[in-house]
Structure 1
Amino acid sequence: MTHGVDFEPGETPPCPKATAPRLRVVFAGMDGRFSTVPLQALARRHQLVGLVHSLPRPVRRGWLVDWARAGSGAGNLRRFAEYLGCPFFSAGRSAGRGLTAFLQQVRPDLLCLSNFSFLLPPEILEIPRRGTINLHLSLLPRHRGPNPWLWMFHDQDRTGGVSVHLVDEGEDSGPLLGTLEHEVPEGITAGELADEVLPRAAELLVDVVDALACGSLLPVPQASPDGLRRARFVPPGEALIDWPTWPASRVSHFLRGASLWYEPFPPIPGFVRRYGPALPGKPEDPPGTLRQAMRTGWVACCDGRVPFRLQAVPRELWRLGLPLALGAGLWALA
């Protein structure tokens, strides 16, 4: 039997891909490439018999920003289900009974999660014949929880990782089936890191599923999480930066890496701030001061500043322009 820990992509898997049985798999995640990259890799090797879309946690940023950023729900995953010709289910946190019926109908061998937004009850975990596994973007037990990369950048980790584990009733606490490590260079953005890590993570997931199909993996219990920070959800506006003590380099590293999940300043409808590398120098404003002129600006730090530019989000601007245009039309008719 092969232990799952340190089961690296690129190594000869315990069961050759050519002889690994194809499993009936239900894949569950959210829209976006943190789910769709592993989904595509899995669909090339195994039989996708269902896709489950989990709704993201509701976030309140102000009514205008919330309206601009509101989506249609299951965009990417619904389109993948249509392309693959497999059943689709969109699950909220109260959709346990419907999800149970969906899984009982498609009868999967395995349920695979990646970037799934809520914990599953035991009655759902018991349905797949070979269990439920999860792809988590940290070296467990470090950074258990919904926001591993946010806290990885916050804590200045220079080594990150990916874990595939069996799902139990806890939060990212099940036995490990495979892991890999990766570097976290200073100043890298979440998008740049995703470009590097997600293809490797997807390959790891497929290798683990192949090995499970052959019965050649031995799950390994996780180490104790005592003393480790939970990678918890962070509500908008929570103060995570210690402005008087954090140097500009750390502020820049955190804001560039965690920008998908965290913004310390009030959002601007239709735009997002893209932070640049730290600029050393004598501060002219108190640390944490935001200065903005049109599409550019900076944040003052204790030993310099962090520049940023405003990047337009066309879809949000279109949604914001629609009520403005309607309002102008009604005004003209009045």
Structure 2
Amino acid sequence: MEKLKIVFMGTPDFAVPSLKLLIEECDVKAVLTQPDRPKGRGKMVAMSPVKELAVEYNIPVYQPIRLRKEQEIIDKIKEIEPDFIVVVAFGQILSKEVLDIPKYGCINLHGSLLPRFRGAAPVNYAVMAGDKVSGNTTMLMDEGLDTGDMLLKNEVEIDDEMTAGELYDKLMQTGAPLLLDTLNKLVNNEIVKEKQDDTLTCYAHLLNRDMANIDWNKSAYEIHNFIRGLNPFPIAYSYYNDKMMKVLKSKVLEEKTNKEPGTILKVNKDGIRVATNDGVLLIIKVQFPNKKALEVSEYIKGNTIEENIILHC
């Protein structure tokens, strides 16, 4: 049996395990990824993780700024006559012309149990919402944003301490076999497509640093989810004596207080106890400007954090 002909579209590390598995099991004819961009403190122009893997396997790479406007690349995809176009975190919406190219359709792997979270940051929003379960969904793409018919799903449990980064890593690994299973079952007519219920969806907007400011008037549980949902990016923060204090790890305590939300109640090797709207949150790991991220137990060995200071926006 001939291997499935694939055109793969993806950009970040999340897409790498999927591309690697498809290279092993299918015939990946071309890879599309976002243009090389400056990266890191030195702002050196760097390839995307997907491009790095494609180059390693000598697969042709195309980097459209906006695919729907670049007819030459679209024509190259048509020449390939792929069985599938596979999309994993590509970063561009496909036009109907592109969606209509492959024999069996364009398949997207999405890091959320659709229709729960559509959009750019479903992993973070699942953690911030306090969800106990997330997962991957494969879908048959249409012209909308994550609105296509659902195909297969798998689930990953989220415990109360898991960060968005940890969930991301799990979904990245479990998504690849789900994607391959989807392609094989579609070819053999073994999947019943399921339409999404638009009334059950939330939109997971792109994350930015402006939205990472901690609101201490929320509950300890909400703030804890906010902190782990924004780890490792953009990282939640508050201001201590007008200095930005990033908060990377926390814990909800079974304690109550009548102090104003944001008030530092106690500082010791366990962490920084802070009043919230309904109780107390323990900050365990922090990072101050131009300093390394440290456990509070380490930070206070050479620095002082005063009690009764009110953390603010």
The answer for the alignment partner of 2:302 in structure 1 is none
Q: Would the aligned equivalents of 2:109 and 2:136 in 1 still touch at CA under 8 Å? A: yes
Quote the offset at 1:110 in angstroms: 0.8
2:20 is the alignment partner of 1:47: no
Q: 1:197 aligns with which of 155, 159, 171?
A: 171
CA deviation profile, 1:121-143 (whole Å, cap 9, x unmatched):
11111122221010011111110
Letter in 1 for 2:3: R
Q: Would the aligned equivalents of 1:255 and 1:263 in 2 still touch at CA under 8 Å? A: yes
CA distance in 1, matches of 2:121, 2:36: 12
What are structure 2's unaligned runs of at least 5 residues?
240-244, 265-270, 294-313
CA distance in 2, matches of 1:272, 1:240: 9
In structure 2, the CA distance between the partners of 1:194 and 1:228, relative to structure 1 (3 Å rule), is closer
What are structure 1's unaligned runs of at least 5 residues?
1-18, 59-65, 291-296, 314-334
CA deviation profile, 1:258-295 (whole Å, cap 9, x unmatched):
3234334389xxx98632444666779854579xxxxx
State how 1:28-107 maps to structure 2 within 5 Å: 28-32=9-13, 34-54=14-34, 68=41, 70=43, 72-93=45-66, 96-97=69-70, 98-107=72-81
Q: TM-score with structure 1 length normalisation?
A: 0.71
CA deviation profile, 1:100-134 (whole Å, cap 9, x unmatched):
13423433221111112121111111122221010
Quote the offset at 1:207 in angstroms: 0.5
Name the structure where strand makes up a greater proportion of residues.
Answer: 2
Q: Would the aligned equivalents of 1:24 and 1:109 in 2 still touch at CA under 8 Å? A: yes
CA deviation profile, 1:208-263 (whole Å, cap 9, x unmatched):
111123343332222x222532112233212675421221x442333223323433
CA deviation profile, 1:136-182 (whole Å, cap 9, x unmatched):
11111110111111211121111112110000001111111111222
CA distance in 2, matches of 1:272, 1:74: 29
CA distance in 1, matches of 2:51, 2:274: 43
Q: What SS does structure 2 have at the residue aligned with 1:307?
A: strand
Q: 2:152 aligns with which of 172, 178, 183?
A: 178
In structure 2, the CA distance between the partners of 1:73 and 1:56, relative to structure 1 (3 Å rule), is closer
Q: TM-score with structure 2 length normalisation?
A: 0.75
CA distance in 2, matches of 1:67, 1:95: 29
Q: 1:254 aligns with which of 223, 226, 234?
A: 226
Q: 1:304 aligns with which of 281, 284, 288?
A: 281
CA distance in 1, matches of 2:77, 2:100: 10
Task: Give the length in aligned residue pairs.
Answer: 278
CA deviation profile, 1:24-58 (whole Å, cap 9, x unmatched):
111111121x1101111222211111111135999
The answer for the alignment partner of 1:5 in structure 2 is none
State the identity %.
Answer: 25
CA distance in 2, matches of 1:299, 1:131: 53
CA distance in 1, matches of 2:41, 2:247: 16
> Which deviates more from structure 2 when the two are superposed, residues 22-31 or residues 252-261?
252-261
Quote the offset at 1:82 in angstroms: 1.7
